[in-house]
Each structure stands twice: as C-alpha cells, then as structure tokens.
C-alpha cells in the first residue's frame, strides 16, 4: 500500500550495470547495493557532501558513525591501523559478515562525518560478489549504513530499499535477496570487545581467537555520539544560536549570519553537515591565533540534517566536567 504511494526517483540497476553504479558513486551519488548481510546505502566515504546526504536520506536524528566498505584487506592499511589480532581476524573472516573497529590512520582521507568525529573507523570487506565488483570499480572506500530509513528494519531485497528510500537515493543496484539477512558482527580489537552481534557467530570468532570475547554492547556506550575524539571536540567553550560577532569569540556562521567561518553561506544544511567537524577543528586553531576564548555558532534550523548538527553542537556546548550523555 505504502509502496504504491512512494514517489520513485531511484534508478533500479541490474548486475550488468555495476560499472554505471560505480561511476555514480564516484560522482557523489547515493547508490544502494547488496552485500551478503543486508543492502547498504552507499556513498563515496571521502566526499563529505555525499556522506551528509546519507544521513539526510536515512533521516537519522544524530550522526552515528558509518561502516566503511572496501574491496580487499589490502585497502585497509591506508585508512586504519591493524594490530596482530585485527590482522588474524581479517585473514580468517574477510571477506565476510565481520566489521572491525580500528584506530584511524593519519592522512586517511575519509570525511570526518563518516566516523562522526571518533578516532576509530568501522571497516568491512563484504563477500558478496556484486559488492566486491562494485567496490573494486569505485576504487575508493564506500561508506554505507543499512539501506533503511532510521528506525525501520534493514533491507534484504532491492524492493525493500525502493519502498523505504526510493525517493531519496539516486540508484539501487539489484542483486537479489541477501544471503545472510542480518547485519555484520562488529568487533573492536583494541581493546578487544564485541560491539554488535550479527551475521558472524560469536562462537566462530571465539574459536578462531582461542579465547572468549568481552561484550561491550551497552547501547548508549557504543553509539553515544558524545564520544567525540579530542581532535574534533573544540578545546574552548561553545555557545549556540549567536547572531553577531564578539571579539572574544570565533563565530561560525550559517546562512545570513556570516562569521569568521561559515557552515554554509547559502544556508544549506547538507553542506553544513559535511563541513561541521572540519570547522569545529578550524575554529579552535583560529581562536588560538586570535586569542579568542570561545567559539560561537550561528543558529542552525531544527529541520532535516539541522537536527543532527544541533545535537552535535549541544554536546560540544555541554559543560566539560559533566559526563556526556
Ligand atoms: O552488515 C552491515 O554491517 C551493514 C552493511 C550495509 O554493511 N551495515 C550496517 O550499518 O548495519 P549501520 O550503519 O546500520 O550500523 C553500523 C553500526 C552502528 O551501530 C554504529 O554505531 C557502529 O556500526 N559503528 C560505526 N563506526 C563505529 C565506531 N568507530 N565505533 C563504534 N561503533 C561504530
Ligand atoms: Mg542499521
């Protein structure tokens, strides 16, 4: 019923059209594609604007970090640091339904929105041949959350993606139903912990490691968007909703409020999301240069991605000696 009312803009691509899907991703489009676990909503992970559109399409109320997909384990070295345990797990289970959360490597080139400002990145090498072919052709890391609107169940068929997101993505690559049908198992390796149970059985991982896996699946703890790395949490106090300049502060503008820097001069929340983490970082260095002791941010509307932006800003503005939610 709902599906017949959905406006459909997305192109449905056949497996023979993988080269077109890859080209679209390289050009900054949103392309949903099948992995063996569930369909992912893909975007070039190095393109901040494309990544921002992923959050807008899903309607996520906050910037949760996304999983980065690569064609092979050899492509991980440029993005993240793998210790011996990570290398063992990768050798044993990649390609497959396992995601590893690893420390980011300097010069990784990913949009900071992908990791939501954390200093770790979640990476997986999917096994589905269509996904591997696609990733190989894109030649860049592809960020992809499950291809469902926020709060709805994951999509395991192209038709599910069309129903849920058909009017918000550019294309859906149809590879038939997903074999596993359950999201990947997520592991952090340093320190070792299970973050999400999923398509790879915990018993299999424990058998491979020869020891039991500590669980760290307290929901608020893993996904808390308050876990900004110090790199992206401004060192100075932050004030929101500021419309005019003050010599004691660096002003981050938006739309009509022009500051020392601007999230988006045209008042585009997608552009603002793509620039947010970079600008918070930049504002700190600028404040150090100017001798300013505060960062002010212009009002950002509470619509679309503006909600997630404000969520982040509120956390950054919270007093430092209080525990972050
Ligand atoms: O099977 C899957 O994993 C699918 C396919 C498309 O790959 N993807 C998927 O993505 O389920 P998503 O966005 O629905 O779930 C990703 C999870 C989130 O719960 C997020 O918090 C966690 O991964 N995550 C991502 N980066 C993280 C990080 N650096 N630290 C901890 N958790 C992270
Ligand atoms: Mg999901």
Least distant ligand from the CA of 153: 2
Distance CA 263, CA 123 (A): 28
> What average pLDDT does the structure give for the chain?
88
Predicted confidence band at 7 (pLDDT cuts at 50, 70, 90)? low
Res. 231: pLDDT tops 50: no
CA of 250 to the centre of ligand 1 (A): 34
The region of weakest confidence among 94-98, 154-158, 248-252, 308-312 is 308-312
Res. 225: pLDDT tops 70: no
- Confidence at residue 227, expressed as pLDDT on a 0 to 100 scale: 46
- Confidence at residue 283, expressed as pLDDT on a 0 to 100 scale: 93
Nearest CA to ligand 1 atom 12: 145
Res. 311: pLDDT tops 90: no
pTM (two decimals): 0.85
The region of weakest confidence among 31-45, 109-123, 179-193, 228-242 is 228-242
Distance CA 50, CA 271 (A): 10
What is the percent of the chain where pLDDT is above 70? 90
Pocket probe for ligand 1: among 64, 173, 221, 308, the residue whose CB has the most ligand atoms within 8 Å is 64
pLDDT in tens, 172-207: 999 999 988 889 999 999 889 988 888 898 889 999
Pocket probe for ligand 1: among 31, 145, 154, 223, the residue whose CB has the most ligand atoms within 8 Å is 145
Q: Averaged over 85-105, what is the pLDDT?
A: 97
- Which phi and psi (to 5°) does residue 165 adopt? -130, 10
Q: Averaged over 277-305, what is the pLDDT?
A: 91
Q: Averaged over 31-59, what is the pLDDT?
A: 96
What is the CB neighbour count within 10 angstroms for residue 69?
26
Q: Averaged over 140-160, what is the pLDDT?
A: 92
CA of 100 to the centre of ligand 2 (A): 16
Q: Which helix (H) or strand (E) holds 123?
A: strand 120-124
Predicted confidence band at 252 (pLDDT cuts at 50, 70, 90)? very high
Of these ranges, 76-85, 153-162, 315-324, the one predicted with the greatest mean pLDDT is 76-85
Of ligand 1's atoms, which has the minimum distance to the CA of residue 147?
A: 6
- Confidence at residue 223, expressed as pLDDT on a 0 to 100 scale: 41
Distance CA 55, CA 171 (A): 16
Predicted confidence band at 114 (pLDDT cuts at 50, 70, 90)? very high
- Pick the closest to residue 135 from 84, 197, 78, 68 (CA basis): 68
Distance CA 14, CA 84 (A): 39
Q: Averaged over 294-302, what is the pLDDT?
A: 96
Least distant ligand from the CA of 54: 1
Work out the angle at residue 212's Cα, subtended by the Cα atoms of residues 208 and 218, and round it to the nearest 5 degrees. Answer: 120
CA of 97 to the centre of ligand 2 (A): 14
The region of weakest confidence among 23-32, 88-97, 141-150, 273-282 is 273-282
- For tokens 């340093």, what's the residue? 190
In Å, how far are 88, 98, 122, 213, 301 from 202, measured between CA atoms? 15, 10, 18, 8, 43
CA of 8 to the centre of ligand 2 (A): 22
CA of 122 to the centre of ligand 1 (A): 7
Could you tell me which residues come within 8 angstroms of residue 33 by beta carbon, excluding any fewer than 6 positions away?
A: 21, 39, 40, 42, 130, 131, 134, 144, 172, 173, 175
Res. 261: pLDDT tops 90: yes
Nearest CA to ligand 1 atom 19: 223
- Confidence at residue 289, expressed as pLDDT on a 0 to 100 scale: 93
List all residues whose CB is within 6 A of at least one atom of ligand 1: 35, 37-38, 40, 64-67, 99, 101, 115, 118, 120-122, 124, 144-146, 183-184, 186, 195, 222-223
Task: Read off the tokens for 183.
Answer: 């999201």
- Confidence at residue 1, expressed as pLDDT on a 0 to 100 scale: 41
Least distant ligand from the CA of 223: 1
Q: Averaged over 72-90, what is the pLDDT?
A: 96
- Confidence at residue 229, expressed as pLDDT on a 0 to 100 scale: 52
Nearest CA to ligand 1 atom 13: 145
Q: Averaged over 35-47, what is the pLDDT?
A: 97
Q: Averaged over 259-284, what is the pLDDT?
A: 90
């Amino acid at each position: 019923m709902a599906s017949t009312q959905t406006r459909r803009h997305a192109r449905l691509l056949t497996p023979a059209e993988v080269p077109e899907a890859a080209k679209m991703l390289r050009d900054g489009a949103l392309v949903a594609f099948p992995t063996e676990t569930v369909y992912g909503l893909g975007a070039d992970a190095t393109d901040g604007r494309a990544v921002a559109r992923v959050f807008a399409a899903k309607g996520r109320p906050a910037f949760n970090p996304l999983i980065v997909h690569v064609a092979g384990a050899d492509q991980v070295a440029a993005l993240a640091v793998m210790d011996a345990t990570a290398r063992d797990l990768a050798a044993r289970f990649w390609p497959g339904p396992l995601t590893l959360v690893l420390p980011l490597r300097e010069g990784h080139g990913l949009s900071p929105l992908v990791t939501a400002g954390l200093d770790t990145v979640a990476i997986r090498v999917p096994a589905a041949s269509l996904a591997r072919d696609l990733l190989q052709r894109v030649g860049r890391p592809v960020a992809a959350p499950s291809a469902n609107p926020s709060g709805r169940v994951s999509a395991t068929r192209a038709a599910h993606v069309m129903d849920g997101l058909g009017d918000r993505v550019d294309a859906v690559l149809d590879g038939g139903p997903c074999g596993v049908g359950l999201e990947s198992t997520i592991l952090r390796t340093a320190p070792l912990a299970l973050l999400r149970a999923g398509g790879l059985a915990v018993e299999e991982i424990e058998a491979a490691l020869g020891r039991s896996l500590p669980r760290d699946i307290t929901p608020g703890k893993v996904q808390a968007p308050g876990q900004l790395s110090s790199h992206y949490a401004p060192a100075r106090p932050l004030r929101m909703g500021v419309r005019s300049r003050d010599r004691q502060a660096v002003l981050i503008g938006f739309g009509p409020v022009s500051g020392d820097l601007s999230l988006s001069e045209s008042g585009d929340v997608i552009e603002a999301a793509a620039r947010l983490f970079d600008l918070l970082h930049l504002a700190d260095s600028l404040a150090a240069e100017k001798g300013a002791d505060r960062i002010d941010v212009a009002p950002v509307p509470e619509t679309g991605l503006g909600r997630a932006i404000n969520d982040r800003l509120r956390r950054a503005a919270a007093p430092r000696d209080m525990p972050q939610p």
